[in-house]
Amino acid sequence: MLLPALATPALVVDADAFVHNVTTMAAALPGDRCRPHVKAFKSTALARRLRDAGHHHFCAATPREILGMARAGLGADLLLANETLDAVRLAEMAALDVRVTVAVDSDETVDAAANAGIAAVLVDVNVGLARCGCDPADAGRLADRARRLGLEVRGVMGYEGHLMGNPDRAERRAGLEPAMAALTEAHRLVGGDVISGGGTGTYDLNRWVSEVQAGSYTLMDTAYAKSGLPFRQALAVAATVVSRGRRDGREYFVADAGLKSLGMDHGLPDLELSDGTLAKVWFCSDEHVTFAVPAGADPAARPALGDLVAIRPAHVDPTVAYHERYRVVRDGLVVDEWEIDLRGW
């Protein structure tokens, strides 16, 4: 299929950029040093490419992702890097014939895991994000409780997500010191072989963890692009220019992708015209993005109605969740399709 023949909006992956990203991470964190995070891409087809690159352990944010990975034969070692009190979903994961570990951060989550028949847990420690995770000083007590209830305590995890969006590498590095000091102390209290943490933004800085939970590196977004990482922008939403007009003497254009196809929590997307010119995005609405050609641009950059533009989202994870499939492209051709089969709950 030729790329211009796509029904838009369409989520597209640059095949060569994706391969670059996967091989770059596999060289930096080979094998199980990287535990790819399924929440970023939500596709077992994409996950298989990561397994083929040597990563056999995966983590996920939802029970649906865990169940889907296991049923796709990708269950060598699965971690639900999130808390849940849902007895039904916990029991479904416990019944899988694969190794499933669940994060816990309270008496209630420990008890729920034990009651559902979960075999193993990691104690989740709050290292500064103010999201899930126990106080580091309470980690040992929770581990003791889990062991009394028959659970294997494999170790600890802690996500320094409050550092990921900082484009300054030196500041990310400095912020890691206290975060990982807390996680290291929690691990001393808990024991176990696993210290899990990190992400795309700190994958090459976090020397304290035994495995890095990175996922966005596979596709990338414009927020991470500001951080000077060696990964390429592989993801875009292809959209068609469907309208044009003028306001206050300035010409604008409208493409058919908007809030219902783009994750917007990290800000406006970038929009590339067919010649690579970066347009000025004015705003996004439900089904549309309104943009202008920058002053001084080559007149040839001015799009015609029917032209395709590439919209690069600021946040990959929620963007992916809006779409049903990836179209993998190379040299203007759609060469493959990957179902986004782990979306929803």
List the one residue out of 134, 100, 205, 218 whose CA is nearest residue 163: 205
List the one residue out of 129, 109, 133, 132 whose CA is nearest residue 121: 109
> Cβ neighbours of residue 331 under 8 Å, at least 6 residues apart?
none
Are the C-beta atoms of 158 and 202 separated by less than 8 Å? no
Q: For residue 152, what are the CA distances in angstroms to 40, 82, 186, 190?
A: 28, 17, 17, 11
Task: Provide the CA 274 distance to its chain's centre, in angstroms.
Answer: 27
Query: Which is the CATH superfamily of the domain at 30-213?
Result: Alanine racemase (3.20.20.10)
Query: Quick one: three-class SS letters along 217-240?
Result: HHCCCHHHHCCCCCCCCCEEEEEE
Which residue, chain included where needed, has tokens 């999130």? 82
What digits encode the pLDDT tens for the residues 85-111? Answer: 999 999 999 999 999 999 999 999 999
User: Residue 278's CB: how many other CB atoms inside 10 A?
Assistant: 15
Q: How open is the CA angle 250-251-254, to the nearest 5 degrees?
A: 130
Q: Give me 22's structure tokens.
A: 């996967």
Please tell me whether the peptide bond between 9 and the residue prior to it is cis, using omega within 30 degrees of 0: yes
pLDDT, residue 219, reads 98
The amino acid that residue 88 corresponds to is: V
E strand segments, 148-249 = 152-158, 194-197, 211-212, 235-247
SS3 243: strand
User: Residue 293's CB: how many other CB atoms inside 10 A?
Assistant: 20
> Cβ neighbours of residue 9 under 8 Å, at least 6 residues apart?
237, 238, 239, 256, 257, 261, 311
Query: Which is the CATH superfamily of the domain at 3-10+232-339?
Result: D-serine dehydratase-like domain (2.40.37.20)
Measured CA to CA, the distance from residue 156 to residue 159 in angstroms comes to: 10
pLDDT, residue 275, reads 85
Pairing of strands 152-158, 308-312: unpaired
Which residue, chain included where needed, has tokens 């039904």? 88
Tens-binned pLDDT, residue by residue, of the chain (345 aa): 778 889 999 999 999 999 999 999 999 999 999 999 999 999 999 999 999 999 999 999 999 999 999 999 999 999 999 999 999 999 999 999 999 999 999 999 999 999 999 999 999 999 999 999 999 999 999 999 999 999 999 999 999 999 998 999 999 999 999 999 999 999 999 999 999 999 999 999 999 999 999 999 999 999 999 999 999 999 999 999 999 999 999 999 999 999 999 999 999 999 999 888 999 999 999 999 999 999 888 888 899 999 999 999 999 999 999 999 999 999 999 999 999 999 998
Measured CA to CA, the distance from residue 29 to residue 10 in angstroms comes to: 31
pLDDT, residue 175, reads 97
What digits encode the pLDDT tens for the residues 158-194? Answer: 999 999 989 999 999 999 999 999 999 999 999 999 9
Measured CA to CA, the distance from residue 158 to residue 124 in angstroms comes to: 6
pLDDT, residue 138, reads 98
pLDDT, residue 192, reads 98
% of the chain beyond a pLDDT of 70:
100
Which residue, chain included where needed, has tokens 């669940």? 102
Are the C-beta atoms of 229 and 20 separated by less than 8 Å? no
The residues spanned by each domain of the chain are 3-10+232-339, 30-213
